[in-house]
């Protein structure tokens, strides 16, 4: 596997790939890799000639510096995992490569209210950072496809809309959420859960399943949301939101026919977990 640290190395790699007519699959991550990330690499390998994974813990998308400091970093382990998955290249830039002194402005994307609801409401500024780094990475990579997880449902909705407005020929491929055997969505943050928190964490999954069952009856969204929040709070969570939204607009779902998604964010102690499910 080629380890690439600078933009000039990346340019050379992409130039060679282009010369050979190879398609590029891009998997952006913040590292501390788990099977969720591995599924994106596998999806890319199944479709594209070359798979490039990036690991960059993007400082601008953390709205709390303590969260950035505590974010797990396991570069040697990550590189081994990527080797085992037969990833073609790992792009591991320093922050100065992505954010040079002479700032590169991101265009103003028309994202309507996709960035202000759910995560955008509870983590002000978070999506500004995500948009900034993804604009930079997608422009650099000029990939044929970018593989992103539905675990971050709102993020992939925003990047899909952003790509429609960018001058790159990259298609976003949404990939299913990979879960632990008890249903907890895999996340780099899960390693920070205590044993007790870890056993409680699966409640999130159960509330989503329950919402799916109730929705198919169809019950009022507000009643589902109220009861899911109550279940989570009883289990020890502090709930930011449990919302049933239109999967396209991310606005509150108003009818049973819409493609809907239940989205949840809740804290267990200092750890914030997010998850979602199509209803
Ligand atoms: P992260 O390293 O958390 O920024 O995530 C990098 C990519 O992996 C994003 O596209 C995430 O949506 C995706 N991802 C994270 N966890 C999972 C999971 N459990 N299943 C599928 N994709 C995931």
The string of pLDDT tens digits covering residues 191-241 is: 999 999 999 999 999 999 999 999 977 777 999 999 999 999 999 999 999
The answer, yes or no, to whether any atom of ligand 1 lies below 6 A from the CB of 178, is: yes
**In whole angstroms, what is the distance from residue 259 CA to residue 267 CA?**
27
36 CA from centroid of ligand 1 (Å): 6
Q: Indicate the pLDDT class of residue 4, thresholds 50, 70 and 90.
A: very high
For the question of residue 37 being annotated catalytic, the response is yes
pLDDT in tens, 65-92: 888 999 999 999 999 999 999 999 999 9
Angle at 145 between CA 253 and CA 243, to 5 degrees: 15
**In whole angstroms, what is the distance from residue 163 CA to residue 169 CA?**
8
Output the pLDDT for position 136.
96
Using the Cα atoms of residue 153, residue 157, residue 158 and residue 160 in order, give the sign of their dihedral.
Answer: positive
DSSP classification of residue 68 = H
Percentage, residues of the chain above pLDDT 90? 90
The answer, yes or no, to whether any atom of ligand 1 lies below 6 A from the CB of 219, is: no
Q: For the stretch 78-112, what's the b/e string if a residue is b when 16 or more beta carbons lie within 10 angstroms of its beta carbon?
A: bbebbeebebbbbbbbeeebbbeeeeeebeebebe
Token pair 């298609």 is found at 171
Mutation test residue for ligand 1: of 149, 191, 274, the one with most atoms within 8 Å of CB: 149
Predicted confidence (pLDDT) at residue 103 exceeds the cutoff of 80:
no
Output the pLDDT for position 177.
98
Output the pLDDT for position 106.
83
Output the pLDDT for position 51.
99
Other beta carbons within 10 Å of 127: 20
Predicted confidence (pLDDT) at residue 150 exceeds the cutoff of 90:
yes
Active-site residue, selected from the candidate residues 37, 113, 126, 135: 37
Find all residues with CB under 8 Å of 182, minimum gap 6, and list them. 202, 205
Q: Whole-model pTM?
A: 0.97
**In whole angstroms, what is the distance from residue 201 CA to residue 269 CA?**
11
> What atom in ligand 1 is closest to the CA of residue 32?
2
Residue nearest atom 12 in ligand 1 by C-alpha distance:
149
> What atom in ligand 1 is closest to the CA of residue 188?
3
8 CA from centroid of ligand 1 (Å): 27
Predicted confidence (pLDDT) at residue 12 exceeds the cutoff of 80:
yes
Q: What is the number of residues in the chain? A: 279
């Amino acid at each position: 596997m080629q380890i690439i640290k600078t933009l000039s190395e990346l340019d050379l790699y992409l130039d060679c790939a282009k010369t050979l007519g190879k398609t590029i699959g891009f998997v952006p991550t913040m590292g501390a890799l788990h099977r969720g990330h591995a599924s994106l690499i596998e999806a890319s390998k199944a479709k594209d000639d070359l798979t490039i994974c990036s690991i960059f813990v993007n400082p601008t998308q953390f709205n709390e510096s303590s969260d950035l400091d505590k974010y797990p970093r396991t570069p040697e382990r990550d590189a081994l995992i990527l080797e085992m998955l037969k990833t073609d290249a790992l792009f591991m830039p320093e922050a100065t490569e992505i954010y040079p002194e002479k700032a590169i402005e991101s265009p103003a994307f028309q994202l309507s209210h996709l960035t202000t609801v759910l995560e955008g409401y509870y983590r002000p500024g978070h999506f500004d950072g995500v948009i900034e780094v993804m604009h930079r990475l997608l422009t650099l990579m000029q990939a044929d496809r970018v593989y992103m997880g539905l675990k971050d449902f709102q993020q992939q909705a925003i990047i899909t809309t952003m790509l429609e407005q960018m001058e790159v020929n990259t298609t976003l491929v949404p990939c299913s959420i990979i879960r632990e055997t008890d249903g907890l969505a895999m996340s780099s943050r899960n390693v920070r859960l205590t044993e007790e928190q870890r056993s409680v964490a699966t409640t999130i999954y159960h509330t989503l399943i329950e919402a799916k069952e109730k929705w198919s009856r169809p019950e009022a969204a507000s009643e589902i949301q109220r009861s899911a929040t109550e279940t989570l709070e009883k289990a020890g969570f502090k709930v930011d939101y449990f919302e049933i939204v239109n999967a396209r607009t991310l606005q509150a779902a108003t009818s049973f026919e819409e493609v809907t998604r239940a989205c949840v964010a809740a804290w267990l102690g200092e750890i914030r977990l997010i998850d979602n499910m199509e209803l």
